[in-house]
Chains A and B, each alone.
Chain A
Amino acid sequence: MTERPECAVTRQLVPELAAGTAAGDERADALAHLGRCLDCRRELAATTDLMDELLLLVPEEEPGTGFECSVLARLNEEDDAGAPVPSPVPSPVPAPTAPVAASAVPPGRPSRWSRLAWLPPPGRNRLTLLGVVAAATVALALLAAGLVWRATEDDRELAAAYRHTLEVAHGQGLSAAPLRTRKGTEIGTLFAYQGEPSWVYATFRSPPDPGNYQVHLLSKDGRCLALRPFEASTKAIAWGGKIPVRVSDIQSVAFIQSDTPVLTAHFG
């Protein structure tokens, strides 16, 4: 295809227009021509599409532990600060530049860790209480799942007693969500109990990889809370921790190892 002479100058600039790097004066001339010339607009649109595709070739990479949490915490702050919500505006003629003007990241922002609320480890009494409740939760889970399980009469009574406590006395009952690996395989269940105190409890069908896990709870309003860490032995089948939010406010709970959320349960 041969270019018309008046198009040739603009075509020279199309790659830079598409990449958003064209300088002001050249850009103004080219945009004036584009307003008159359908062929050049098509050329620009096709080149922009291609560059979009090139952007998608960049390999994905997982950010560090707590990234999701710190982003959501930051957005929550913005929301609280009453940042104006832009109203939808009609789009102008296809603009070749980036849709959002970039500007610099303000320096000296506090580290993302400073936004994480670290909870003190639960006291011994709570742990003991938690242990008891947790045992019942496991029993409940297995019974509820209809698994054939060599439960003793005592176990069944305990489970029944807590079922009563959870479902009747406290009304809010027990919530549960599947615990999944990054590949989506379900390897356990995360229970959440609304009460005094409220807690979450994870049971694993098969032991997770041994090691130390950080456990993060993400609330629906975007807060990130670090729960009691999980030191998984080779035979670990369960973990539990107190939570400082209502069960209905839980968005997700993630078990994080080596900066990667390896197990996640999503609620709601």
Chain B
Amino acid sequence: MGALTDESLLAGMATRDPEATAAFVRRYQSRVFGMAMAIVGSRAVAEEVAQEAFVRAWRHAATYDPRRGRVATWLLTITRNLAIDTLRLRGERPMDPHVLTAALVSGESGTETASDYAEREHLRTALRALPPEQRTPIVLSVFHGMTAREIAEKEGIPLGTVKTRIRRGLAKLRDVLGVVDD
């Protein structure tokens, strides 16, 4: 099973193959649970979110389109959306963005290839180097699903300023990825 690509496991899951499904869950459970934890901050809620994310992935496996991104990001996007919605439904606040940011810039990811690893470390370093006033709104937008307007209200900053800071921050991060890509 270890040699199968993410795409072939997902394809197996789409045909309801139990072995491919089990292998898919095994391969991704720590990533999915890590994402849920990063947003909701509670193990019990995170397990519910993570479980639901796999159910969604299972239901929608047949509609996954590789042109729209890798399996990992597809699955993590599902997880993030579920985590945000679950918190909203419960009327609970997501994890402190500063705690999440600290985990992002210092964290280490487990199973990945060397080239993936190098790129990820470049991005991590670049994120660490961003001024906090650019980094925090990016984290709030990407991980907490907040609109620029919500961020502006939360941080007490004009809307235009928030948008500018996010764009500047993202532009710096993109420069880093561009260098690695070439």
Contacts and interface: CB of A to CB of B under 8 A. Distances in A.
Contact of B174 (A46, A52, A56): A46
A15 interface: yes
B25 interface: yes
Nearest to A70: B51
A262 to B, nearest CB: 14
Given A21-B145, A99-B74, A59 B38 contact: yes
A47 B18 contact: no
B64 A99 contact: yes
Interface residues of A toward B: which range? 35 or more
B77 A98 contact: yes
Contact of B107 (A14, A57, A78, A218): A57
B150 to A, nearest CB: 8
Interface stretch (A81-89, A188-196, A202-210, A231-239): A81-89
A60 B72 contact: no
Interface string B27-66: 0011101110110000100111111101111111011110
A220 B23 CA distance: 11
B34 A58 contact: yes
Contacts, number: 215
Interface stretch (A102-110, A127-135, A160-168, A170-178): A102-110
A48 B7 CA distance: 20
A88 B61 CA distance: 9
A21 B147 contact: yes
A53 B119 contact: yes
Interface of A: 11-12, 14-16, 19-23, 46-64, 67-68, 70-72, 74-75, 78-79, 83, 85-89, 91, 94-95, 98-105, 109, 112, 218, 220-222, 251-252, 266, 268
Closest 3 CB pairs of A and B: A102-B81, A59-B107, A52-B73
